């Protein structure tokens, strides 16, 4: 397991290095880096199947990796799987997931047109918040997913997703309603990020639906602007 992760990391760093040199005009006998085969989601998934980097791996029913278009322009990122997700091995399939589907459809998109995943890929016991150690253990996998999808816009669902991606302790109420820039580790390329409340929060507090509607309208506006550009 550790050896597989190290190999993936070396390949990722090598690609980044040689792409940078190629952009500076240098050529290589072994071809341009953009002709190299990409690491696949399947490879990444297989590298995670036996993961025991934190205690969550031993208690899961299924690894909840991700779902949707692997080359989507919009990526939705939540915090962790719940009971239904753990049983089915897919993110956002319970009541909160059904609400997320309706939210996505409200801005004229379908689940198959976006990519959906979580910060943590295994269900925390009792659906508790993932711990800082669990987040730290799983975050490298998420970074690789983002690098593979290469979304134009990220929507962070809930406090934990927003705080983790933006590397801040600010409350979700202070992060939503504006456009942030997410910088992947090791990259100067920024991705627009919009934070909003987790769909589960809407189930508990229906009055938040109006706020989330404003956030996803902003998401759609930013996405449309990038497409035009």
CATH number of 64-228: 3.40.470.10
For residues 61-91, one letter each, b for 16 or more C-beta atoms within 10 angstroms of the residue's C-beta and e for the rest, the string is eebbbbbbbeebbbbbbbbbbbebbbebebb
pLDDT at 226: 86
Q: pTM for this one? A: 0.82
Per the rule left: phi > 0, alpha: psi between -120 and 50, beta: everything else, 25 is left
- Please check whether residue 156 is in contact with residue 196, taking contact to mean a CB–CB distance below 8 angstroms: yes
Domain extent listing, the chain:
64-228
What does the alpha-carbon distance between residue 115 and residue 104 come to, in Å, rounded to a whole number?
Answer: 11
Tell me which residues of the chain have a pLDDT lower than 70: 1-38, 185-188, 229
What pLDDT score does 25 carry?
45
| pLDDT tens digits along 23-69 | 444 443 334 434 444 578 999 999 898 899 999 999 999 999 999 99
Specify whether the CB–CB gap between 64 and 130 falls below 8 A.
no
């Amino acid at each position: 397991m550790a050896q597989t992760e190290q190999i993936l990391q070396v390949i990722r760093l090598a690609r980044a290095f040689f792409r940078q040199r190629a952009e500076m005009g240098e050529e290589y006998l072994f071809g341009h880096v953009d002709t190299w085969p990409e690491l696949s989601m399947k490879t990444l998934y297989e590298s995670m199947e036996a993961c025991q980097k934190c205690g969550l791996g031993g208690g899961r029913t299924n690894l909840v990796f991700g779902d949707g278009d692997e080359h989507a322009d919009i990526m939705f990122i939540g915090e962790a799987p719940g009971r239904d997700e753990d049983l089915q091995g897919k993110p956002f399939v319970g009541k909160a997931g059904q609400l997320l589907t309706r939210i996505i459809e409200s801005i004229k998109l379908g689940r198959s047109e976006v990519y959906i995943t979580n910060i943590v890929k295994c269900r925390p016991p009792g659906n508790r918040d993932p711990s800082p150690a669990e987040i730290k253990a799983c975050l490298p996998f998420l970074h690789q997913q983002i690098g593979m999808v290469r979304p134009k816009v990220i929507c962070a669902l809930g406090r934990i997703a927003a705080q983790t991606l933006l590397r801040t302790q600010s409350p979700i109420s202070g992060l939503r309603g504006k456009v942030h820039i997410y910088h992947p580790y090791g990259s100067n390329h920024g991705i627009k990020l919009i934070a909003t409340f987790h769909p589960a929060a809407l189930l508990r507090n229906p009055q938040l639906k109006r706020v989330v509607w404003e956030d996803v309208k902003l998401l759609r506006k930013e996405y449309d602007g990038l497409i035009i550009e």
